[in-house]
Amino acid sequence: MQAIKQTSPYVRKQVSTKRMMIDVLIALLPVVIFSIYRFGWDAIVRLLVSLILMIGFEALIIGMTHKVKKTDKTFKEKLKSRYSGYTINNITAPAVSAVIYAMLMPSKLPVYAVAIGAIFAIVVVKMMFGGLGGNIFNVAAAGRRFVSLALTGMFAGVYVGVDMIAGATPLTALKSGMGFPSVLNSYPILDLFTGNIPGTMGEISAIAILIGLIYLLIRRTVDYRIVLSTALTFIALITIIGLKLYPTQWFEFLLYNIFSGGLLFGLTFMVTDPVTAPLTRPGRWIYGLLIGSLIVLIRTFGAYAEGVAAGLLFANMFVPLIDYPKWSSNIIKPRFVISYVVILVLMGLVVYFGVGGAV
């Protein structure tokens, strides 16, 4: 009998990073199926392009960054030692990013634009920061922001609805021209909920996303604190705006804002990305507060109709600050609860007086 040297603990829980990634892929399934149903080959091509590019470039860069041993002589041996650290997570993790990224794209965006964004996301945002677990910014959100900033023109008028007529998304309609109560005529709440609207491939069907969210919450693959905190902040601030601008229709305004745009998709698959989130309970509440307020601020006062990706990337920059060892703590203290409420109230006052002047 051979005895092995180990240190305690000797038993491990039956969980794995691979399983968490696969959970997210499973949760993405309803969204992917819906987008293929809606957009057909357009969706399939863009999904495949981003999947192949992200997984391929991650593999390529891992091969480039790992050293060969001095004893390796043949090409085969060199290849083997270059890919010694290549595991299943080098496939599942970029696959998750790729599917999320593809779902953030409008269906008529040229394939080369999708490809540029995918390569930027995986090479610059992920691998340059050290691969899985090392990236500071959310990979899919950064890729999406890169494409929409570099190729702004392409995002105007390429959103396609169910009857294949290009049109404005519900949020751009709200922002430019139509104004609130009249947009309800073009985009009823029920259509927003089922996905019968123009928009990017993944974010239009609220019901498909909610199925995924419920699955992830039941599996505990995502932290409910971030989801809850972001949603709470968003709902509170939008309700304040709604009550001030449209006192009789504030509830419709709230529903319209929740179901249009990328909020639900971002809430389920992007803000919950653990790699770019803070580590502690209070930290994650603050992170959600930050994202929720930023989305509302960008949507209401900013130049863009859509704010989830930008708000998330902005909040990502604050994560090292939130996690700074001097003040980060996993205990929820009364001091934290009070400051959370105070900041929420302050944000409420800001939007309350802000929108009054804007309209």
Partner 1 sequence: MIAKTKYIPDGKKELKKLPILHYLDANYLYYPVTSARCPEGETCVRGGQFVKIGEVIGTRKGAFFEQPMHATVSGEVVGHEKRIDQSGKVVDCLIVKNDKKYNLHSSIKDRTDAEIEALTKDDFVTIVKDAGLVGLGGSAFPSYIKLISKDPINVVIANGVECEPYLIADYSLMMNQPHEVIEGLIYAMKASGAPKGIIAIKKKYTEIAERLNFSLKQFTQYDIKVALVGNYYPQGWELEMIKNAIGINIPQGELLSKYGVLNFNVSTLQSIYNAVKKRLPVLERLFTISGNGVSNSSFRARIGTQVPDLIELAGGYKDIEIPKVLILGGPMMGTNVTRDDIVMTHTSTSLIVLNEELEVEEPCIHCAACVYSCPVSIQPTQIMNAYKTRDKETLKMLGVNKCIECGLCSFVCPSKIHLTEYMRLGKRFANK
Residues that bind partner 1 (CB under 8 A): 1-13, 15-17, 19-20, 87, 89, 131-134, 219-223, 274-277, 279-281, 284, 323, 325-326, 328-331
CB 19, min distance to partner 1, A: 7
With CA atoms as reference, report the closest residue to 217 among 207, 206, 228: 228
Angle at CA 296, nearest 5°, toward 294 and 299?
A: 105
SS3 200: strand
With beta carbons less than 8 A apart as the criterion, state whether 139 and 87 touch.
Answer: no
Nearer to partner 1, 239 or 280 (CB): 280
Residue 88: partners with Cβ closer than 8 Å, 6 or more residues away: 18
Task: Decide: residue 153, CB within 10 A, 0-12 exposed, 13-18 middle, 19+ buried.
Answer: exposed
| SS3 annotation, 223-290 | CHHHHHHHHHHHHHHHHHHHHHHCCCCHHHHHHHHHHCCCHHHHHHHHCCCHHHCCCCHHHHHHHHHH
CB 294, min distance to partner 1, A: 21
SS3 155: helix
CB 199, min distance to partner 1, A: 29
Nearer to partner 1, 64 or 331 (CB): 331
CB 328, min distance to partner 1, A: 7
Nearer to partner 1, 206 or 216 (CB): 216
Angle at CA 256, nearest 5°, toward 228 and 268?
A: 35
Nearer to partner 1, 131 or 307 (CB): 131
Residue 37: partners with Cβ closer than 8 Å, 6 or more residues away: none
Helix axes 111-119, 89-103, angle to 10 degrees: 140
CB 222, min distance to partner 1, A: 7
Nearer to partner 1, 108 or 219 (CB): 219
What's the token pair of residue 272?
């919950």
Nearer to partner 1, 85 or 356 (CB): 85
Nearer to partner 1, 168 or 277 (CB): 277
Query: Letter for the amino acid at 299?
Result: R
Nearer to partner 1, 3 or 303 (CB): 3
CB 22, min distance to partner 1, A: 12
CB 87, min distance to partner 1, A: 7
Helix axes 17-39, 41-65, angle to 10 degrees: 150
CB 140, min distance to partner 1, A: 15
With beta carbons less than 8 A apart as the criterion, state whether 119 and 53 touch.
Answer: yes
With CA atoms as reference, report the closest residue to 138 among 296, 309, 19: 309
CB 6, min distance to partner 1, A: 5
Nearer to partner 1, 4 or 190 (CB): 4
